[in-house]
Structure 1
Amino acid sequence: MTGSAEPVAGGSGTRRPVTVVDVPRPLRAQFFPDRVGERLAAVAECTLLDEPGALTHPGLAPVLARAEVLVTTWGVPRLDADLLDRAPALRLVAHTGASVKPFVTGELFARGVAVTQAGQGMARAVAEVALAFTLALLHRLPRVDHALHAGAEWHVAEAVPPRHELLGCPVGVVGASRTGRAYLELVRLLGAEVSVADPTLTPADAAALGARLVALDELLAGSRIVALHAPTLPETRHLVGARELALLPDGAGLVNTARSWLVDEAALVAELATGRIDAALDVFDDEPLPVGHPLRALPNVLLTPHQAAGTVQGRRRQGEIVVDEIVRYAAGRPLAHAVTPELLARLG
């Protein structure tokens, strides 16, 4: 645990709220590099935590008692009544990631603590990975790459199912989240014919995004690529199961950079094992993905280790969003990325 609390010259003139930054050093270097970090130090009186679990360390009690702002990242403990009793001055929790569900409790809102998150900063990076997945599946790159690495004869590697271009391709987007919209824009600009399934959209909303609003079954049956971007909600648990996978046309591809929650993984493995469809996945039920997991052995699957959002630019944007929100809080202005209790219920 390290501490810093002296005013920094060159600040904005706005008061500098006492801020505990519970973000380990390696991640801090990504979220708050160079001028972003300098700006954070200029706008807030920061105590930096380097050790896992440092937020509950007894030695932090004097600073935590004064802290108005808590900056969090993945792995933060639940902010329950016991912890909040030790932070009576807390008024803002600013999360460097997207989902705050693992640690935000009703106690925060009951005590008048505002919550904000930086998920918008991740949208472009994840959308680009989803686009890369889409192109890879259309051109059967996982199959040919696997065949050549496995030592297959050249003619065997060439013998893949028909390949397709994105231009004119029917692409289905499940969930018009921030990332879903970013992905939708990318594939649409490259010429895809896009459908979207999202119960929160009207046909006019979808048309404004350049897409056609359809029911999930129609989207699955009519898309060559289906990209999942829905939130983690009780009603989205295994949204795509064996019945839904069977609706996909032969040769279709499933892209999931959202949550494994959305797909019945056992059903997906069974469908992929037939070779009828392909998939590209960044998220899994068990993470890290076990070495012996059947997904690792399938030639028609592209796998990445839940790192779609981890670009240099994306991490920096997340840090900038957090700093901007602290500035807004200190100036008494509305937050741009506030998470209300109602919004929390709908967020993934």
Structure 2
Amino acid sequence: MTGSGDRPPAGGGPVTPPGRGRRPVTVVSVSAPLRAQFFPDRIGDRLTTITDATPVDDHAALTGVDLAPLLARAEVLVTSWGVPRLDAALLDRAPALRLVAHTGASVKPFVTPELFARGVAVTQAGQGMARSVAEVALAFTLALLHRTHRFDHALRAGTSWDRAEQAPPRHEILGCPVGVVGASRTGRAYLELVRALGAEVSVYDPTLSVADAARLGVRLVGLDDLLAGSRVVALHAPTLPETRHLLGARELALMPDGAGLVNTARSWLVDEAALVAELSGGRLDAALDVFDDEPLPTGHPLRALPNVLLTPHQAAGTVQGRRRQGEIVVDEIVRYLAGRPLVHAVTPDLLARTG
């Protein structure tokens, strides 16, 4: 068995463990409230048993003086949202670093080529979020089909009962044509849920083969056909140059009157100005968890539209989902210690293809 001085290969191959029976110095750069969600009870106990873990409440401490001695010895860095970019300057302060384990999904905001160049393995816990986000997307889908958001808006606004009763036609999900943009982890979890309730699902995803679509029980179609033929369109695509404003004014105009758009993925995918313009006319409905500006400004026009259901980017925040994310991180550290391949490794190629 090799010693801890040997760097692991970048990506998902076997990683060189730090030595049997030794607990690697680990910096857990996760705020106290999130640590309580990710690493409660036995999950936290596992983390502190297998590693010499030090919690850091503020990401800014990673670049400060006080943490320098600890960072210099850290072999594992556990991260959460808002961690600074792991560039050469920061990595110079962490020469022993071998593994970065992210409690979230996308590592694009902070992972740099320098990290891979130094042979540091990267992993993430996005799989733990898939079910939670898929369930919210399902809840959004049902709300749009039954216009519950319109009724809620009307009654809260003091609209008369007779007027509040008025809404566009409502539909059941049984036999409903649902379009899914992106067969991602969350996209697959969502399509499994809506198919179980009887929806007829079409998918647009250039990376998905016809055979894969058949195995998923869905129909593979082009984007225009999906938009024109779906009563509800749910977005689950990654953040890539080619997905920027995938849905603009032209694409939104293809959606049938009364259709609904669900976005629990990324605002990157939709031209928000075009969406606001379309929604302002009342032709479409939407349920949104993500926005160009977060927090969503109090005066934003989306807040005032009765045909829009809004949540503050919290689709993934379930108790069970957070626990799964923490378990994934701990399991990946265990694999690192055993020199086994990481199950959720992020390689340079994968990072270029996902959001």
TM-score surpassing 0.5? yes
Aligned to 1:275: 282
The answer (yes or no) to whether the contact 2:236–2:265 under 8 Å persists in 1 is yes
Residue identity in the other structure for 1:115: V
The answer (yes or no) to whether the contact 1:14–1:331 under 8 Å persists in 2 is no
**Equivalent residue runs for 1:325-340 within 5 Å:** 325-340=332-347
Match of 1:111 among 118, 121, 125: 118
The answer (yes or no) to whether the contact 2:59–2:84 under 8 Å persists in 1 is no
Match of 1:256 among 253, 263, 273: 263
Alignment TM-score, normalising by the size of structure 1: 0.96
Q: Is 1:207 the counterpart of 2:214 in the alignment?
A: yes
- Which protein, 1 or 2, shows the higher relative CO under an 8 Å CA cutoff with sep ≥ 6? 2
The answer (yes or no) to whether the contact 2:78–2:100 under 8 Å persists in 1 is yes
Alignment TM-score, normalising by the size of structure 2: 0.94
**Equivalent residue runs for 1:231-246 within 5 Å:** 231-246=238-253
Aligned to 2:350: 343
Aligned to 1:160: 167
CA distance, structure 2, for counterparts of residue 50 and residue 276 of structure 1: 46
Match of 1:318 among 325, 329, 341: 325
Shift in Å, 1:51? 2.7
Residue identity in the other structure for 1:107: E
CA distance, structure 2, for counterparts of residue 244 and residue 122 of structure 1: 28
CA distance, structure 2, for counterparts of residue 162 and residue 329 of structure 1: 54
Aligned to 1:86: 93
**Equivalent residue runs for 1:169-180 within 5 Å:** 169-180=176-187
CA distance, structure 2, for counterparts of residue 330 and residue 292 of structure 1: 50
Shift in Å, 1:181? 0.3
Residue identity in the other structure for 2:246: L
For residue 354 of structure 2, give the secondary structure of its aligned residue in structure 1: coil
Q: Percent identity?
A: 83
Q: Is 1:290 the counterpart of 2:286 in the alignment?
A: no
Deviations 1:49-83 (A, max 9, x none): 12341111212111111111000000101000011
CA distance, structure 2, for counterparts of residue 153 and residue 47 of structure 1: 58
Q: Is 1:151 the counterpart of 2:154 in the alignment?
A: no
Q: Is 1:63 the counterpart of 2:70 in the alignment?
A: yes
Shift in Å, 1:15? 2.9
| Paired positions, count | 336
Shift in Å, 1:346? 1.1
Aligned to 1:43: 50
CA distance, structure 2, for counterparts of residue 49 and residue 238 of structure 1: 37
CA distance, structure 1, for counterparts of residue 60 and residue 328 of structure 2: 24
CA distance, structure 2, for counterparts of residue 280 and residue 241 of structure 1: 17
